[in-house]
Structure 1
Amino acid sequence: MLGVVGGTTLERFLLVHVPGLLLAALFLVVAVGVALGGLLLVRRSVALSTLERHNDVAGFIIAVIGVLYAVLLAFVVVVTWQSFDRAGQVAGEEAQLVEGLYRDASVFGPQAGEIRRNVEAYATFVANREWPTMAGHQHEDVQTDDALDSVWNSYRSFTPDGATQQAFYSDSIRRLNDLQKARADRLEASASTLPDALWGVLIAGAVITVGFTYFFGLANVRAQGLMVTALASMIGLTL
């Protein structure tokens, strides 16, 4: 699925507490059920002979609509996947920076213990508090903010002694700045969703595309039902 429409309590509950596969299956069942319900309603309301007379015209129109909707849907899928991939890269970079800070702290003598404790505390808060918060598309965790500030304070209170410590200290400050930026990028990526207007266009396009299949008159309604099911399933899984 592409994302969530917004940040309502119901959506957050579903995303956090319902497994992704189950949520996709439920969405698919609803989409197919609505599509088949519309087909049966049209077939009961309009005579088959009337629908058959419009097969050619409906075919040309749905070809144009289908291409336009497919292009739009493909564009949204690509952009969403790129955003997802970028979020994964940023999270990986953040983990590497934390690992580097923890490792290089060993050269700072007695201060190494405090630095490592604070770095470890930050990593723990990110894993146990901030990641669950991100799942609900909420803002950063305040305690994780404090943990990162403690890491900064550990370096501010330390004065490097000698060329070796100075070199590692300068590199650690650079890593720490990069860590803060990586965290900000991660939080920004987790909060991004598709605009409501774009969701409206996607859903309207799905309704129009599936709805146009009702204007085809097939003698075998089961065969037409299978076609509608396949189309609704593909669109539903993508959304």
Structure 2
Amino acid sequence: MSNLLLDLPLWGIMVIVIGGLTAVAVGLQAAIRAFFPEIMAQRHNDVAGFLAAVIGVIYAVTVGFIIAEQWDNFTDAKDRTYREAFTLSSIVEGSIVLGPVQQRQFSDAVLAYNREVIAWWPRQGEGGAEELRQAQTLTPLHIALNQAQPTTEAQRAFVTDASARLADVAADREDRLHRARNAHLEWPLWVLVGFASAVVLVFCALFGLESRWLHYTMIAGVAMAVGSNLLLVILLNHPLSGALSVGPDAYLSVVADLTR
């Protein structure tokens, strides 16, 4: 389901998830009041309230843990993209010790790599020839380092440090592509989240209130809260695509700096 929602704008996802779940919950409440009018006798409220409180705590812990893990994955993915982009930028800055000609060579190579990443960003994770071509755009940087002939201590230190940094960039790139392909919840966790959300709504619907509209207002509020949690799970499920995702801001910033 989350894959189908990725191409929708944020407001559209909010309407479908929160609005749809609220409509379902209110409809469930209406059906219970219509077919089980004895619910308004309120004799069962103490038991239902106790069970709803226990289930609510379990739901909060379970879904909260999943959202926390997804948020950590999201922020880590963002940090890795910034590190990948700005590590290459620092290599260009440090290459001044090799002279302006070689610095231009490094700058052109980094610009080519960042532009390739930006152009391919919406389709990353698809694999194939595009992914291979992106990996090959780092080749000019390796060639430039291999062709460098350091004669001073500063130049030798730069070449050693830049070689290590290029290895880190390659690792960050592989991590980014792996997240784009695989960083999502497995189906058992989706079943768990859906089941826990349904149980919370059902137990809240079992309360008996004489006021019809107050009853509907309460179940709608709970449904919107549960829907907000589901919305977060869906939006954070793919950290590198969708309405709420890490964008190529770092790479755009590097391109702007180097072309200035």
* Cα pair 1:98 1:123 within 8 Å, conserved: no
Amino acid at match of 1:99: S
Structure-to-structure mapping, 1:218-233, within 5 angstroms: 218-233=209-224
Amino acid at match of 1:219: E
What is the rounded CA distance, in whole Å, between the counterparts of 1:182 and 1:21 in structure 2?
32
Tell me whether 1:116 sits opposite 2:107 in the alignment: yes
Residue aligning to 2:131: 141
What is the rounded CA distance, in whole Å, between the counterparts of 2:208 and 2:49 in structure 1?
11
The match for 1:54 among 39, 44, 50 is 44
Tell me whether 1:88 sits opposite 2:56 in the alignment: no
Residue aligning to 1:170: 160
Tell me whether 1:38 sits opposite 2:22 in the alignment: no
* Cα pair 1:91 1:186 within 8 Å, conserved: yes
Amino acid at match of 1:236: G
TM-aligned CA deviation for residue 29 of structure 1? 0.9
* Cα pair 2:33 2:39 within 8 Å, conserved: no
What is the rounded CA distance, in whole Å, between the counterparts of 2:223 and 2:132 in structure 1?
43
TM-score by length of 1: 0.86
* Cα pair 1:35 1:210 within 8 Å, conserved: yes
What is the rounded CA distance, in whole Å, between the counterparts of 2:191 and 2:172 in structure 1?
32
Residue aligning to 1:214: 205
* Cα pair 1:106 1:112 within 8 Å, conserved: yes
Residue aligning to 1:192: 183
* Cα pair 1:51 1:216 within 8 Å, conserved: no
TM-aligned CA deviation for residue 211 of structure 1? 0.8
* Cα pair 2:150 2:156 within 8 Å, conserved: yes
Residue aligning to 1:150: 140
Please give the secondary structure, in 2, of the residue aligned with 1:141.
helix
TM-score by length of 2: 0.79
- TM-aligned CA distance change 1:183 to 1:51, over 3 Å: farther
Aligned residues: 226
Tell me whether 1:69 sits opposite 2:68 in the alignment: no
Please give the secondary structure, in 2, of the residue aligned with 1:216.
coil
Amino acid at match of 1:198: L
* Cα pair 2:39 2:207 within 8 Å, conserved: no
Uncovered stretches (5+) of structure 2, i.e. residues with no partner = 231-260
Residue aligning to 1:29: 19
TM-aligned CA deviation for residue 144 of structure 1? 1.1
* Cα pair 1:133 1:141 within 8 Å, conserved: no
RMSD of the alignment, in Å?
2.1
Please give the secondary structure, in 1, of the residue aligned with 2:208.
coil
TM-aligned CA deviation for residue 193 of structure 1? 0.7
What is the rounded CA distance, in whole Å, between the counterparts of 1:201 and 1:106 in structure 2?
55
1:176-234 Cα deviation digits (max 9, x unpaired) = 11111222222333331111101100100101110112211111111111111111111
Amino acid at match of 1:121: A
What is the rounded CA distance, in whole Å, between the counterparts of 1:182 and 1:49 in structure 2?
57
Please give the secondary structure, in 1, of the residue aligned with 2:137.
helix
TM-aligned CA deviation for residue 100 of structure 1? 0.7
Amino acid at match of 1:107: V
What is the rounded CA distance, in whole Å, between the counterparts of 2:39 and 2:115 in structure 1?
68
Q: Which sits farther off after the overlay, 87-96 or 31-40?
A: 87-96
TM-aligned CA deviation for residue 53 of structure 1? 2.7
TM-aligned CA deviation for residue 173 of structure 1? 0.8
Uncovered stretches (5+) of structure 1, i.e. residues with no partner = none
Amino acid at match of 2:140: S
